[in-house]
């Protein structure tokens, strides 16, 4: 089977019961529709001439009963069929979100949020729709086409052959638009993605937009996307208009031709009145699947385009993941070794080349050096946010690639310059350090991060909403919140990446006290911009473009008169 199809049908497996119910009812309903023209034929040819009212009323009642049954079947198909669709959609969305979370930083370096949002919402909705209607519509269309033709043949072979000659023309007219529609829907989805990206970036960056008074520029960019979306959609409607009206015309033409030809056969005596009416009704039944094909032409390409994009996404392999046989890390002491480590982002030049460095358990090591030298990069290799391309990193003697990601990252805490906060309450944001922490622990962590007084002054305390990404907090408060998270998480290894660089010196000094307390008893890697903040580190490592330039204590490095000495002088003068 086509791999796309087989992957699609795999999603039906858990819902076999629902599928059979939906499918069975739909097929039964299709059969009842097929039987109706034959019933009418019998009614006209056999019951009418007899003129017995009792039988006629009885037959009418029987047909009503059949229609009531069919109504019930259609209700089942509408409700449980859609349930099947939404179940599959939900499962796909769950899978996509779970996959999203396994993807490494490098994936997100190159992706647009709005596109991803589109995939998880609109795309999957369309797939769900096809998952419900697709197989059922297709099967019933084929069944009705063949069934109706067989019945026509029994009524009048000559007329049936005539119809069979005309219908392929109708089919050709309606299906030739299918491929063009698929291509068009793909383009349409991409433009919806572009929309999402624009709106996302504008809402997130509205402060920048307004600060630069660049609203008109943004409107123009948006107008361009908007226009592209409009023209793609118009193209879709143009195709749709052509295909629906042409197929309408060809259907009606067929019916009229069949009617005139049928009249000829009636007059010549080869066709009864009932057969004539029955045949015309059969032609209608015959066309229903073709109409259905029209609606399938509308929904199916959307679903296929969406499903392809969904698979593309799902097939993006997370290249940083647990190795087969990866061990859960025991409680780490924090003996960290970078052994001949090389790394580069993508194909470009290497950012780190043959770097070696040993860090003892409990040691505080500071990294200083020019911006862009690779300090952040070096530290992000330790939690495996990026993977070394050469050499290895070990913790307590174990290659970090032999440990499970969760157990490794669970024991490393990172505080960065820009803290990402979620738009909930203070409580939720602090508790992100250890989900499920109680209020007493949260308040204790807040107190140690010197966030206690802030919380006490707030009328709603821990329940205070901090705004999207924490916009209602000051820079210093955000950092304190990040530190409170770390007190809760309590990891043996800590990375402080310019945690206070964005703050004024007074705030920095105040937060420094919390950081010193946080670092106590942990192996700590500090990246610092202002040298004054790391003078007491056990060791200072100077990183520059060539790698590790020199290392030692503050006093040793000053005495050496090298790179550190230069940096120190430069900052003292400033
Ligand atoms: P530092 O922290 O010392 O200022 P970084 O480690 O952030 O330096 O950056 C080192 C180099 O790697 C820089 O040239 C930077 O442009 C590049 N770089 C950093 N992050 C990425 C990324 N996510 N993708 C590609 N290049 C990056
Ligand atoms: Mg950095």
Pocket test for ligand 1, best of 107, 108, 345 (most atoms within 8 A of CB): 345
Q: Is residue 35 assigned to a domain? A: yes
Q: Is residue 137 assigned to a domain? A: yes
**CATH, residue 528:** 3.40.50.300
Closest ligand 1 atom to residue 367 Cα is 3
CA distance 529 to 332: 28
How many structural domains is the chain composed of?
A: 3
Torsion, CA 227, CA 230, CA 232, CA 236, rounded to 10: -170
| pLDDT above 90 (res 361) | yes
Rounded to the nearest 10 degrees, the angle between the axes of helix 505-519 and helix 439-448 is 120
Which residue, judged by its Cα, is nearest atom 21 of ligand 1?
345
Residue 572 pLDDT grade (very low, low, confident, very high; cuts 50, 70, 90)? confident
Which residue, judged by its Cα, is nearest atom 26 of ligand 1?
345
Ligand 1 pocket: which residues have CB below 6 Å?
A: 109, 345, 351, 371-377
Residue 179's pLDDT is 65
Q: For residue 549, report the distance from its CA to the centre of ligand 2, in Å.
A: 17
Q: Which ligand is nearest to the CA of 104?
A: 1
Together in a domain, 482 and 495: no
Range of the domain at 368: 321-411+491-574
Q: For residue 158, report the distance from its CA to the centre of ligand 2, in Å.
A: 83
| pLDDT above 80 (res 219) | yes
CA distance 315 to 317: 6
Closest ligand 1 atom to residue 375 Cα is 3
Q: What is the mean pLDDT of residues 402-430?
A: 91
Q: Is residue 234 assigned to a domain? A: yes
Query: Of 439, 455, 487, at which residue does a domain stop?
Result: 487
| pLDDT above 90 (res 395) | yes
pLDDT tens-digit readout, 285-307 = 888 777 676 677 667 777 888 88
Q: Is residue 416 assigned to a domain? A: no
Together in a domain, 477 and 432: yes
First to last CA, the chain: 71
Are 402 and 449 within 8 A, CB to CB? no
Residue 1 pLDDT grade (very low, low, confident, very high; cuts 50, 70, 90)? low
Are 221 and 199 within 8 A, CB to CB? no
Together in a domain, 119 and 203: yes
Distances (CA, A) of 539 to 25, 172, 362, 525, 551: 75, 78, 12, 10, 7
Residue 294's pLDDT is 65
Which residue, judged by its Cα, is nearest atom 11 of ligand 1?
372
Q: For residue 517, report the distance from its CA to the centre of ligand 2, in Å.
A: 23
Query: Of 283, 314, 345, at which residue does a domain stop?
Result: 314
Residue 178 pLDDT grade (very low, low, confident, very high; cuts 50, 70, 90)? low
Residue 330's pLDDT is 94
Q: What is the mean pLDDT of residues 397-409?
A: 95
Which residue, judged by its Cα, is nearest atom 22 of ligand 1?
345
| pLDDT above 80 (res 114) | no
Residue 343's pLDDT is 95
pLDDT tens-digit readout, 133-159 = 777 777 888 888 889 989 999 999 999
Closest ligand 1 atom to residue 543 Cα is 3
Together in a domain, 49 and 178: yes
79 versus 197: which is more confidently predicted? 79
Q: Which ligand is nearest to the CA of 380?
A: 1
Q: Which ligand is nearest to the CA of 109?
A: 1
| pLDDT above 80 (res 185) | no
Query: Of 290, 314, 338, at which residue does a domain stop?
Result: 314
Q: Is residue 127 assigned to a domain? A: yes
Considering only 70-74, 237-241, 290-294, 472-476, which range has the smallest mean pLDDT?
Answer: 290-294
pLDDT tens-digit readout, 12-25 = 899 999 999 999 99
Together in a domain, 237 and 350: no
- The percent of residues above 70 in pLDDT, for the chain, comes to 98
Non-local CB neighbours of 534 within 8 Å, separated by 6+ positions = 366, 368, 526, 528, 540, 554
Together in a domain, 401 and 364: yes
Together in a domain, 460 and 574: no
Residue 327 pLDDT grade (very low, low, confident, very high; cuts 50, 70, 90)? very high
Q: For residue 299, report the distance from its CA to the centre of ligand 1, in Å.
A: 45
Q: Which ligand is nearest to the CA of 372?
A: 1
Q: What is the mean pLDDT of residues 520-541?
A: 92
Considering only 41-45, 206-210, 293-297, 460-464, which range has the smallest mean pLDDT?
Answer: 293-297
Residue 116's pLDDT is 80
- Determine the Cα angle at 359 with ends 566 and 341, to 5°: 80
Which residue, judged by its Cα, is nearest atom 5 of ligand 1?
374
Q: Is residue 432 assigned to a domain? A: yes
Nearest CA to 342 out of 400, 390, 394 is that of 390
Q: For residue 375, report the distance from its CA to the centre of ligand 2, in Å.
A: 6
- Determine the Cα angle at 416 with ends 527 and 382, to 5°: 65
Are 497 and 416 within 8 A, CB to CB? yes
**CATH, residue 96:** 1.20.1560.10
Residue 300's pLDDT is 78
465 forms bridges with which residues in the sheet? 425
Pocket test for ligand 1, best of 351, 369, 388, 549 (most atoms within 8 A of CB): 351
| pLDDT above 70 (res 333) | yes
Closest ligand 1 atom to residue 345 Cα is 25
Q: What is the mean pLDDT of residues 19-39?
A: 91
Q: Which residues surround ligand 2, an ion (CB under 5 A)?
A: 376
CA distance 557 to 539: 10
Together in a domain, 520 and 553: yes
Q: For residue 236, report the distance from its CA to the centre of ligand 1, in Å.
A: 44
Closest ligand 1 atom to residue 380 Cα is 6
Q: Is residue 279 assigned to a domain? A: yes
Q: For residue 374, report the distance from its CA to the centre of ligand 1, in Å.
A: 6
Together in a domain, 389 and 365: yes
- The percent of residues above 90 in pLDDT, for the chain, comes to 47
Q: What is the mean pLDDT of residues 106-132?
A: 82
Together in a domain, 392 and 439: no
Q: What is the mean pLDDT of residues 393-406?
A: 96
What mean pLDDT is reported for the chain?
A: 88
Q: For residue 503, report the distance from its CA to the centre of ligand 2, in Å.
A: 15
Together in a domain, 376 and 471: no
| pLDDT above 80 (res 7) | yes
Q: What is the mean pLDDT of residues 210-216?
A: 86
Q: Is residue 360 assigned to a domain? A: yes
Together in a domain, 217 and 146: yes
Residue 400's pLDDT is 96
Q: For residue 370, report the distance from its CA to the centre of ligand 2, in Å.
A: 9
pLDDT tens-digit readout, 266-289 = 999 889 999 999 999 998 888 877
Helix, strand or coil, per DSSP, at residue 355: strand
Name the DSSP class of 534.
G
């Amino acid at each position: 089977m086509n791999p796309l199809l087989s992957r699609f049908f795999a999603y039906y497996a858990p819902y076999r019961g629902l599928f059979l119910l939906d499918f069975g009812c739909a097929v039964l309903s299709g059969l009842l529709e097929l039987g109706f023209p034959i019933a009418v034929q019998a009614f006209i040819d056999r019951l009418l001439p007899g003129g017995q009212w009792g039988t006629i009323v009885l037959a009418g009642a029987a047909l009503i009963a059949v229609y009531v049954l069919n109504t019930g079947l259609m209700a089942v198909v509408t409700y449980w069929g859609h349930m099947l669709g939404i179940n599959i959609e939900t499962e796909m969305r769950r899978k996509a979100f779970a996959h999203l979370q396994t993807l490494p930083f490098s994936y997100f370096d190159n992706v647009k949020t709005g596109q991803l949002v589109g995939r998880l919402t609109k795309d999957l909705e369309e797939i769900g729709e096809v998952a419900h209607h697709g197989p059922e519509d297709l099967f019933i269309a084929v069944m009705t086409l063949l069934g109706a033709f067989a019945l026509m043949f029994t009524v009048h072979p000559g007329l049936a052959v005539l119809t069979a000659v005309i219908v392929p023309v109708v089919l050709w007219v309606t299906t030739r638009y299918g491929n063009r529609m698929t291509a068009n829907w793909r383009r349409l989805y991409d433009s919806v993605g572009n929309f999402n990206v624009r709106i996302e970036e504008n809402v997130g960056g509205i402060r920048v937009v307004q600060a630069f008074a660049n609203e008109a520029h943004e409107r123009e960019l948006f107008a361009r996307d908007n226009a592209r979306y409009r023209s793609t959609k118009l193209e879709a409607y143009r195709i749709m208009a052509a295909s629906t009206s042409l197929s309408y015309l060809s259907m009606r033409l067929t019916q009229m031709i069949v009617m005139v030809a049928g009249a000829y056969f009636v007059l010549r005596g080869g066709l009864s009145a009932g057969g004539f009416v029955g045949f015309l009704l059969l032609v209608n039944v015959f066309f229903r699947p073709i109409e259905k094909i029209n609606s399938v032409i509308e929904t199916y390409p959307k679903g296929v385009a969406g499903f392809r994009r969904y698979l593309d996404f799902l097939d993006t392999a997370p290249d940083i993941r647990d190795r087969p046989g990866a061990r859960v890390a025991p409680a780490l002491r924090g003996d960290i070794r970078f052994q001949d480590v090389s790394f580069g982002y993508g194909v470009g030049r290497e950012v780190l080349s043959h770097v070696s460095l040993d860090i003892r358990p409990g040691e505080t090591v500071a990294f200083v050096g020019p911006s862009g030298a690779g300090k952040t990069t070096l530290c992000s290799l330790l939690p495996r946010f990026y993977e070394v391309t050469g050499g290895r990193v070990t913790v307590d003697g174990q290659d970090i690639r032999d440990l499970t990601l969760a157990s490794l990252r669970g024991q490393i805490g990172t505080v960065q310059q820009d803290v990402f906060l979620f738009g909930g309450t203070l409580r939720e944001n602090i508790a992100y350090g250890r989900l499920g922490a109680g209020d007493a622990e949260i308040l204790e962590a807040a107190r140690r991060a010197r966030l206690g007084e802030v919380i006490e002054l707030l009328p709603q305390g821990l329940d205070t909403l901090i705004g999207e990404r924490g916009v209602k907090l000051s820079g210093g408060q955000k950092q304190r919140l990040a530190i409170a998270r770390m007190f809760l998480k309590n990891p043996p290894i800590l990375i402080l990446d310019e945690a206070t660089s964005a703050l004024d010196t007074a705030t920095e000094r105040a937060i420094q006290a919390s950081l010193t307390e946080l670092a106590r008893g942990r192996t700590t890697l500090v990246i610092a911009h202002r040298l004054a903040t790391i003078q007491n580190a056990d060791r200072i490592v100077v990183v520059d473009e060539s790698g590790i330039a020199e290392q030692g204590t503050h006093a040793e490095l000053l005495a050496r008169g090298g790179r550190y000495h230069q940096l120190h002088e430069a900052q003292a003068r400033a």
